[in-house]
Amino acid sequence: MARKKKRWELSMRKIREILRLGLKHKKGLREISRSCSIAHKTAGKYLKEAKRRSIGYEEIKQMDNSQLKQLLGTNGPTKGGLSRPRPDWKYIHQELKKKSVTLQLLWEEYKEIHSDGYQRTQFCDLYSRWKKTLKISLRQTHKAGEKTFVDYAGQTIPIVDRHTGNVQEAQIFVSVLGASNYTYSEATWDQSLPNWIGSHVRSYEYFEGVTRVTVPDNLKAGVSKSCKYEPDINPTYHDMAVHYGTVIMPARAYKPKDKAKVETGVLVVERWILASLRNRTFFSLTELNTAIRELLEVLNNKPFKKLDGTRKSCFEQIEKKELLPLPENRYEFAEWKKVRPNIDYHVGVEGHYYSVPYQLRHKQLETRYTARTVEIFHNSNRVASHLRDDSKGKHTTVKEHMPESHRAYLEWTPTRLIKWARKTGESTAELVEAILDARKYPEQAYRSCLGILRLGKYYPAERLEAACRRAVIIKGYSYKSVSSILKTGLDKQHSRREILGFVIKHNNIRGGEYFVSTNKKEVTQC
């Protein structure tokens, strides 16, 4: 290729000399031919083309080689003449994107239109040169401690279950430092969020520090929604980045050169680690990671082909000291979830319900939950924190989160209700105790008892006590019974039992007990 380029530059010099001698000095073709060691017919065609276009030598002198080539419509002297029909490379490039269209087919179509056009080899070579001008790759230079590139390898490694014989493919995580190419790799069961975060944590610990920027691919565990300009980072991934002091900058979608380091790192890991393990059988993830770690040390100590040193020596010399220090505590995996508390001011996390301040009911909140704690945030401010409880369907409630009325309600106990009722009178206390005993759960009777006691706000204590005494006699163990007695004034009248007890007494007057005893005798005789 270098020789072709040199010949091309030599030909352009000859073209310029031909035009100088012919246009400026008015030399004849034979003289020009001898001076430039070129056929006089070829020299004549160049001069003829320049005159046809009315180009003077001073104008040609100001042009560079590409401008002169374009002006004369040639790629240099050809056996067939000065110029050949130039293909429409943009059209050819677009056509090649279509299914089943080949360069051979496009060349044949070109030759059908231009029989004197380029032959197939030169046609393909010229298209290849033109295509290289479409996109210029920037060779990136990474500063020490600046970036870490992370991704998963395309290849997987099978792990066999000793007992069942089932095979599961393990995913291979790869992390590469930008400046030194120092590489970390490990196997995980899948690419889920916990494994993705865990691999990052272990890679930072392997490097004994953190770079200022972490560049991942657009996989779902890292990027919730990819975007060229403002990608939406997974909240847990962002939380981890904040903990370690790094910044997440995802590569653009379908732009592998944004993470060329890890693309190369993946290729190296596949060639030097996975290929070496291809004939081994693994029965656990731990066993596989032990083998990967051994080969990883070999890879990082392998000398560079074109540079001095190894990945490890380069890391220790220029990059390790530039890394950010690891925090004191290892990151604890935490998941985030958007929630909206209902009227009971509780939010559900994994089947358990946790309280928030009652003023935040119906508001959009975020929960951050780890294996030990549950934190709840509103507008990035923490409004509640609870110990994690995995009991399904149960509630964890903080007293301060409740409204005053709910707090007062919870403060009531059966003993306290009876004690409060006794302040009104013994009959009131007896009625309250009877209502509590009549329910399977005392809490079910709290409302009735509180309702009865609050009647004391509207009626004198004597009347409430009398109403409760009457309710006990008639076994009206409810708020409605007491309220009805007070409304109808029955509390002011003597009950039938009281009348029978001390007003009318006679041997011919039989009470209810007589009929009960008579019925029992009849039942016994039957």
Domain ranges of the chain: 1-83, 89-133, 147-322, 335-402, 412-502
User: 359-397 burial, b for 16+ CB within 10 Å, e for fewer?
Assistant: ebeeeebbbbbeeeebbbebeeeebbebeebeeeeeebb
Tens digits of per-residue pLDDT, 88-109? Answer: 887 887 677 565 678 888 898 8
- Of the listed ranges 186-190, 464-468, 514-518, the least confidently predicted one is 514-518
**Region 249-277 average pLDDT:** 70
- The amino acid at residue 520 is K
- The amino acid at residue 283 is F
pLDDT of residue 169: 92
pLDDT at 378 over 90: no
Which residues pair with residue 365 across a beta bridge?
A: 339
- The amino acid at residue 446 is Y
Query: Side-chain half-sphere of 283: how many Cα atoms within 13 Å?
Result: 5
Tens digits of per-residue pLDDT, 11-40? Answer: 778 888 888 888 888 888 888 887 877 887
pLDDT of residue 287: 92
CATH architecture of structural domain 147-322: 2-Layer Sandwich (3.30)
Residue keyed to tokens 């301040």:
357
Q: Give the count of beta carbons closer than 10 Å to the beta carbon of residue 411.
A: 9
- pLDDT range class, residue 505, cuts 50, 70, 90: low
Query: What's this model's pTM, rounded to 2 decimal places?
Result: 0.52
**Region 425-436 average pLDDT:** 90
Return the higher-pLDDT residue of 159 and 220. Answer: 159
Q: Give the count of beta carbons closer than 10 Å to the beta carbon of residue 154.
A: 10
Return the higher-pLDDT residue of 99 and 382. Answer: 382
Q: What's the alpha-carbon Rg for the chain, to the nearest Å?
A: 46
